[in-house]
Amino acid sequence: MTSSAQNITEPDVDTVVVGAGFAGMMAVRRLLEQGRTVHGIEKGGDVGGTWYWNTYPGLRCDVESVEYSYSWDEGLQQEWVWPERYSAQPDILKYAQHVAERFDLKKHFEFNTKLTRATFDNAANIWTVTTDTGNTITARWVVMATGALSVPKKNDLPGAETFTGLNLYTTSWPKTPVDFAGKRVAVIGTGSTGIQVSSEIAKTAKELFVLQRTPSWSVPAHNRPLTAKEIADVKANYASERLRKRDSMDGLGLPGTGKSALEVTKEERDAFYQNVYDNMSPFTFFGSFTDVLVDDAANQTISDFLGSKVRERVKDPAIAEKLIPKSYPFGTRRTCIDTGYYEIYNQDNVHLVDLLENPLKAITPTGFMTDAGAVDVDIIVHATGYDAFTGVVSDVDIIGVDGVNLREVWNAGAKTYLGTMTAGFPNLFLVTGPQSPSVLSNVVVSIEQHVDFITDTIKYLTDKGYNRMEATPEAQDAWVEMNNGIGQFTVHRNSHSWYMGDNVAGKAHVVLPALMGVGPFRAACDEVAADGYRGFALAS
């Protein structure tokens, strides 16, 4: 496509969709169902999004597979069989491939193609989208289905470029297997990724050094193959259960006691926590008692329970204490699931390097150096996280009304209305954008809600003859203020994490995910739509 943005009145296509992950594939499908012309752009060589890029050993989803899957096609959910409770990356990628082929979606995407610039024509109400392949395409609407966790945090390790051994990045892992046998390996980072990859590498590496700055809470995945009966039961009730879950707080519909953690005895509390620990999603802890996410003392009861579990699992009491988070409330950083993570510290070949005790001074040509001295390694595995929510707009130019760059606007703190649109950027829709539940939910449920909202909106606008939609600054400010207000009401008020943008130097501290919950968020979106898209300015 080679249209020029000058003096155009009709775009090349109706909608450009950026990204071929779970969100992008569904958006394309929905728009095609409406009979629209759609052009998809995808940086990777195939569909799958995060499951295409992240192929490191040990990678599994932390949401059960029967739930981490689309609900929008009954035939699809009935025919697909998940092999395990928490599927490994290859199985999730296989599912993405199956969806793309079943609905013939691939032909609508230009792969190996990165969006570099999008410019809004304020008179024509048309976006001109430019890619790194040199193509330009114009569209009325742009849907950014680019994921909240898709751009790695820039490497900020001093001396990183001097290392002469093998650098591996979990976010762009080699497509051929890496052999760690006989190797001395350092893993930097102990978030969800670091925990998963360390647990795997510990099995074969000669020596493994896990560099931990902030410990994460992790509970056993209890992963296992699903039985035929479990699969049949899920399928028999899929439709009704999906409906129940999409109106829940977390998109998972997990059970809670409905009581205050401080009203019940320690025995009653711990019995509930033990059942969660042994059998349920770790996210059940969040709604286990009504006050654990708002009251510090109630929250501490979970940390006390989980701390005792770490002490049981790690033989050396000093190491166990280092692995127990003590600097933040439970739930204000991602809770992880693991398969034998804490037990690796009972192995002679695994060493915890506590960077709080001995800060990392530098990466050296042969390894790393802390205050405790130098360590030589053959391989460094970087599991240092993402520039969450805003990373995508940081390395492209999205130019809205009056030539303003979205990157500059968000520098002061990302702001949206309903997680969907930013004032000054008409006709540009974000899927699971800042101030939407996304990472604090079963993200597939949130993706489906958001894609439905966006594509229904595009249909509404077209049917009514509107060519332009934009969030008003007032509605946007009120939405962001409300979300920050909820943050102040919860244990997030004192937290510092990537949920708040704190992991990236210079990034503004703002509550990035919506804290109101998946069901209430859906209701808010539905109310706005029913009220003629209150808070958005519509124009022909």
CA dihedral 404, 407, 413, 415 (to 10 degrees): 60
Q: Which of 25, 188, 344, 447 binds ligand NA7 (CB under 6 A)?
A: 188
Residue 369 or residue 524: which is nearer to ligand NA7 going by CB? Answer: 369
CB of 144 vs ligand NA7, minimal distance in Å: 19
Residue with the CB atom nearest ligand NA7 in the bound state: 191
| Contact code string over 302-341 relative to ligand NA7, x by CB under 6 A | --------------------------------x-------
- Which residues are CB-contacts of 445 (< 8 A; sequence separation ≥ 6)? 67, 71, 245, 246, 251, 252, 518
Q: Is 290 helix (H, G, I), strand (E, B) or coil?
A: coil
Residue 113 or residue 193: which is nearer to ligand NA7 going by CB? Answer: 193
Separation of alpha carbons 223 and 503, rounded Å: 30
| Contact code string over 78-117 relative to ligand NA7, x by CB under 6 A | ----------------------------------------
Q: Does 498 bind ligand NA7 (CB under 6 A)?
A: yes
Tell me the pairing of strands 360-364 and 397-399. Answer: unpaired
Residue 53 or residue 127: which is nearer to ligand NA7 going by CB? Answer: 53
Query: Looking up tokens 């569904």, which residue turns up?
Result: 26
Residue 194 or residue 251: which is nearer to ligand NA7 going by CB? Answer: 194
Task: Pick left, alpha or beta for residue 14 (phi over 0 → left; psi -120 to 50 → alpha; otherwise beta).
Answer: alpha
What size, in residues, is the chain? 540
Contact 108, 37 (CB under 8 A): no
**Selected range binding ligand NA7 among 175-183, 266-274, 299-307, 382-390, rule: CB under 6 A:** 382-390
Q: Which of 1, 178, 226, 355 binds ligand NA7 (CB under 6 A)?
A: 355
Q: Which of 5, 360, 508, 537 binds ligand NA7 (CB under 6 A)?
A: 360
Q: Which of 32, 88, 157, 508 binds ligand NA7 (CB under 6 A)?
A: 157
Separation of alpha carbons 345 and 218, rounded Å: 14
Question: How many residues bind to ligand NA7 according to rule CB under 6 A?
Answer: 22
Q: Give strand pairing partners of 490.
A: none
* Residues in 20-59 that interact with ligand NA7 by CB under 6 A: none
- Which residues are CB-contacts of 162 (< 8 A; sequence separation ≥ 6)? 362, 363, 364, 365
Q: Which of 89, 131, 193, 218 binds ligand NA7 (CB under 6 A)?
A: 193
* Residues in 502-521 that interact with ligand NA7 by CB under 6 A: 503
Query: Looking up tokens 């109101």, which residue turns up?
Result: 516
* Residues in 195-214 that interact with ligand NA7 by CB under 6 A: 213-214
Give the residue from 315, 292, 316 showing the smallest Cα distance to 304. Answer: 292
Q: Which of 27, 149, 202, 458 binds ligand NA7 (CB under 6 A)?
A: 149
- Which 3-state string (H, E, C) describes 94-123? HHHHHHHHHCCCHHHEECCCCEEEEEEECC
> Which residues bind to ligand NA7, rule: CB under 6 A?
149, 156-157, 188-194, 213-214, 334, 355, 360, 383-386, 439, 498, 503
